[in-house]
Amino acid sequence: MKAFDIITEADARGLEIGGSVTLKTGGHITPLAADTLRARRVTVHQGVAEASLDGLAPVAAIRSLAIGSDHSGVALKGLLRDYLRQKGLSVLDVGTDGPDPVDYPDIAAQAARLVARREVDAAIVIDGAGLGSAIAANKIDGVRAAMCNDKTLARYAREHNGANVLTLGATLISTDEAKAIVDTWLATPMGEARYIRRLVKVRALEKTQ
């Protein structure tokens, strides 16, 4: 996405209705351009340099993961942990390991923070349905978590939405289905610029109330 030093009336009229534009730090919008941008419902991202797309796309070749679960996903977590290690991946198990109840937000946040801090390339979090962990993980700035219960959703989550955290519902899928979902998710990169550019808007939402 091009970042403008100045946006003129001509520039504004050339932008897609309902689209977005990036204005560099210290950049300027002419008065007529401002009116046109409002009329065309164009969102202006302020103070974002051209390098703003750097780091938005998830790691394409995932080599390290965190994996965690609440008590309902312990068995599936252990199976996937061993399966991924056998494939040569570095897998950090963040718990839990027993039947005693634990709160899914704690596990999801722990795994998500490792991704946000780039201590691992991605994470997998498991609970009963996968929904709660996705909601919790998405509260961490820089994390895009998606609950997937089939291979199609896993592919879309990565290719279109740049998901760097996958959540699974242990009560909804079999172990073979879980392996297939994880394999698809890991193997799908996010390469198209149009998808990556849309993550600028997602990131902007993280900064608003």
Average pLDDT over residues 124-150: 96
Query: In terms of pLDDT, which residue wins out, 2 or 209?
Result: 2
The closest alpha carbon to 44, from 209, 206, 200, belongs to 200
69, 107 in Cβ contact below 8 A? Answer: yes
Q: Residue range 100-115: average pLDDT?
A: 96
Rounded Cα distance, 131 and 139, in Å: 13
pLDDT surpasses 80 at 5: no
Give the pTM: 0.75
The sheet with strand 43-46 has its strands ordered as 3-7, 20-29, 43-46
Between 186 and 48, where is the model more confident? Answer: 186
The torsion of the CA quartet 109, 57, 166, 201, rounded to 10 degrees, works out to 70
What does the alpha-carbon distance between residue 112 and residue 41 come to, in Å, rounded to a whole number?
A: 34
Q: What is the mean pLDDT of residues 68-97?
A: 97
Average of per-residue pLDDT across 126-149: 96
What does the pLDDT read at residue 48?
45
Domains of the chain: 3-54 (no CATH), 64-187 (3.40.1400.10)
Q: What share of the chain is helix, strand, coil (3-state, %, to 5)?
A: 45, 20, 35
pLDDT the model gives residue 50 = 43
- In this predicted structure, the answer to whether residue 160 has a pLDDT above a threshold of 90 is yes
In the chain, the percentage of residues whose pLDDT exceeds 70 is 91
List residues with catalytic annotation: 160
